[in-house]
Amino acid sequence: MQVNAQVNPGEMMQLFNNTFKGVIFDLDGTLVSSSLDFTALKLAIACPLDRDILTFIDSLPIAQAKSAMDIIEQAELTDANNATRLNGALALLDFLLLQQIPMAIVTRNSRLAASIKIDRNELPIELVYTRDDGPAKPDPTSLNRIANLWQIEPEKIAYVGDHLYDVEAANRAGMQSVLLNFDKPKRYQYQANFVFRDLQQLLQAIPSISLCA
């Protein structure tokens, strides 16, 4: 079932709060900004525009794949050194920390690029899976590994992202898919369990829990 931001806020808060015991985030376009131009990158390595860029690179001969990946990784590092934290990211992460909700990041970035973005933007998340750690999204392998590590049922974990691959990965893992659309409706958002405008609206949808004894 998809839950849009337009539903009754009280009902949405109660439903969302009762759905998760852990939260996994995408990185680019979800917690931090990204200026990667995938159309330009695909043209640079002769990847068809309708193909996934990582899948395309995996299909190339070894030498050609290395050359293509070098181009991608250089662009990622430039992007990493310019990435900024998105509005609402720190407030949401701090809230989840206070509630002792386990958090992780699963990204298609390289480990180095992801580390730079996380460190530069002081994101308080230590558990990170990149494409260097397992199959890239929309493959659900990394999500499944985190669920096993946490020993939490997948349906009690929310995966938050801004792309079709995020929704597909969450759905394949049996998790709650949470899509951020930034006021730009997406043709695939009906596939998500929850749709929010941004991280700030997502935080507002989670009822505050008193920390006072």
Amino acid, single-letter form, for residue 98:
L
Q: Where are the domains of the chain?
A: 9-34+84-204, 38-80
Residues 120-178 have pLDDT tens digits of: 999 999 999 999 999 999 999 999 999 999 999 999 999 999 999 999 999 999 999 99
Distance from C-alpha of 51 to C-alpha of 47, rounded to nearest angstrom: 7
> What's the whole-model pTM score?
0.87
Residues 78-118 have pLDDT tens digits of: 999 999 999 999 999 999 998 899 999 999 999 999 999 99
Distance from C-alpha of 31 to C-alpha of 88, rounded to nearest angstrom: 9
Distance from C-alpha of 62 to C-alpha of 27, rounded to nearest angstrom: 28
CB 23 within 8 A of CB 158: yes
Distance from C-alpha of 149 to C-alpha of 48, rounded to nearest angstrom: 37
* DSSP H or E segment with residue 23: strand 22-25
Burial class from Cβ neighbours inside 10 Å (0-12, 13-18, 19+) for residue 213 reads exposed
Which residue has better confidence, 6 or 73? 73
Q: Say how many C-beta atoms besides its own lie within 10 A of residue 185's C-beta.
A: 10
pLDDT reported for residue 18: 61
Distance from C-alpha of 164 to C-alpha of 137, rounded to nearest angstrom: 10
For 200, phi then psi, to 5°, come to -65, -40
CB 168 within 8 A of CB 106: no
Distance from C-alpha of 92 to C-alpha of 201, rounded to nearest angstrom: 10
The CATH code of domain 9-34+84-204 reads: 3.40.50.1000
Alpha helices in the chain (DSSP H): 9-17, 38-44, 53-58, 62-80, 89-98, 111-120, 141-150, 164-173, 199-204
CA separation (Å) from 159 to 63, 65, 75, 143, 195? 35, 30, 26, 8, 12
pLDDT reported for residue 82: 95
